[in-house]
Chains A and B, each alone.
Chain A
Amino acid sequence: MTKQHKAVALISGGLDSMLAVRVLQEQGIEVEGINFYTGFCVEGHTHAIRNHDKEKQKRNNALWVAEQLGIKLHIVDVIEEYKDVLLNPKHGYGANMNPCLDCKIFMVGKAVEWVKEHHKDGFDFIVTGEVIGQRPMSQRKFTMPIISEESGADDLLLRPLCAKNLPETKPEREGWVDREKLYDFHGRNRKPQIALAKQFGLHDFASPAGGCCFLTDKSYSDKLVDLWQARNSREYELDDIMLLKVGRHIRPSDEFKLIIARDAGESKFLEGYRKQYTSLHALSHNGPMALVDGELKQEQYPLAAAIVARFGKGRSAEEVEIDIATPDQQRQQIKTAPLSADEVLQEWYV
């Protein structure tokens, strides 16, 4: 009896990795999935913090894909290790703060490590859903061998969707998989993938614009760079990068920034941080929860209060009472006239 070969596939939750696994399953390969959580991953329910997104299905696409494929999924926390990838990318950044090539090398390298750690489970090779030309930075013909080599996966890295455009890998050479039944997809055209999905009977799949990472988003990257500049340091913690996903970010001073909820869902989310951050909210009117990132000096309380008052129901009132609470719950109330729309300067918006 021939040995059934086993692969671990990087699952992002998108269509390509889903198809890559499905192609191998057709060849009788046993596949398990692995998903790396960097803290910058776009999740359906990160958006669902906001009220208007509440109706959106709250699902983790990687888990959902794994369930559709009938495979196990291992989710690995790489938040700490990922900092070095983001801060010191050997191959540089893409259009924003996205270090896509270093990220891919890192993730495939982590998969190599994971396979070694789980050697008893007998994984023979690693699979990705990469397609040559699909992404401008990481998925190009010349980057494919760089990823294989620098990750340490070498010829044990198989890309079923574009394998025919690449040199033979060990799984193909050894006959574990049939190269003829792999694909030669290339370029940004998604039609071949959509057609293959249809052929496999897959009708529901995520296709997030800009990929599955907040770092490809200009607005998010701008906020991250602003945070580093304000702190004079590129260090960050998970809470910092979570809070960049939420609220309006308004920096009226070098010393502090206000994170102001845009709706009740975000207010509730920000409330969870009141023991870590100074917070502001209106007492006299309905209004958003706001957090202070940085140092809010006593003399800046009136300005911060007047800004927060601007974004509540009391924006047209003569006076709004704002409660300011420090993390140790020292409280102070300030009565202030809300700033007008023009007084909240455009350059304050991060």
Chain B
Amino acid sequence: MSRQQLDARRMLCPMPVIKTQNQVAAMQVGDEVEVICTDPGALNDIPAWARINGHSVIDTVQDEDEIRITVRVGA
């Protein structure tokens, strides 16, 4: 299992979703990617994208400036 980080800061949705999607396509089931973003839209969009594509959001951390969303790759 690998864990990677993806910098999507200053990108506006749907770019953080697209970057996550492309990263996940190159990963294996069970791998995790932590997406760091600044667009609050990602709080809705990345989980929605994960749900419809069979992946899961396992952690979300939000501070004043950044949001960190960890996605586990599904089958």
Interface residues of A (CB under 8 A from B): 35, 37, 41, 43-46, 48, 57-60, 62-64, 66-67, 70-77, 242, 272
Chain A residue with the shortest CB-CB distance to B51: A67
Contact B39 A45 (CB under 8 A): yes
Contact A66 B14 (CB under 8 A): no
Q: Mark B34-61, 1 if CB is under 8 A from A, else 0.
A: 0000111101110011011110000000
B17 at the interface (CB under 8 A from A): yes
B29 at the interface (CB under 8 A from A): no
Contact B48 A64 (CB under 8 A): yes
Contact B18 A37 (CB under 8 A): yes
State in angstroms the CA–CA spacing of A198 and B54 once bound together.
28
Query: Looking at the complex, which one of A57, A58, A63, A70 makes contact with B17 (CB distance below 8 Å)?
Result: A63
Contact B18 A45 (CB under 8 A): no
Interface residues of B (CB under 8 A from A): 10, 12-15, 17-18, 21, 38-41, 43-45, 48-49, 51-54
The 3 A-B pairs of least Cβ separation, nearest first, read A45-B41, A63-B48, A60-B45
Contact A45 B13 (CB under 8 A): yes
Contact A66 B52 (CB under 8 A): yes
Contact B38 A60 (CB under 8 A): no
Chain B residue with the shortest CB-CB distance to A49: B12
Contact B48 A60 (CB under 8 A): yes
Contact A48 B14 (CB under 8 A): no
Pairs A–B under 8 Å by Cβ, sample size 14: A37-B18, A45-B12, A45-B13, A58-B43, A60-B13, A60-B14, A60-B44, A63-B17, A63-B45, A63-B52, A64-B48, A67-B51, A72-B53, A75-B14
State in angstroms the CA–CA spacing of A242 and B14 once bound together.
12
State in angstroms the CA–CA spacing of A163 and B17 once bound together.
33
Contact A60 B17 (CB under 8 A): yes
State in angstroms the CA–CA spacing of A41 and B45 once bound together.
15
A residues less than 8 Å from B48 (CB atoms): 59-60, 63-64, 67
- Given A67-B52, A272-B38, are A43 and B15 also a contact pair (CB < 8 Å)? no
State in angstroms the CA–CA spacing of A64 and B21 once bound together.
16
State in angstroms the CA–CA spacing of A293 and B42 once bound together.
28
- Given A37-B18, A43-B12, are A73 and B52 also a contact pair (CB < 8 Å)? yes
Contact B15 A72 (CB under 8 A): no
- Given A37-B14, A37-B15, are A58 and B40 also a contact pair (CB < 8 Å)? yes
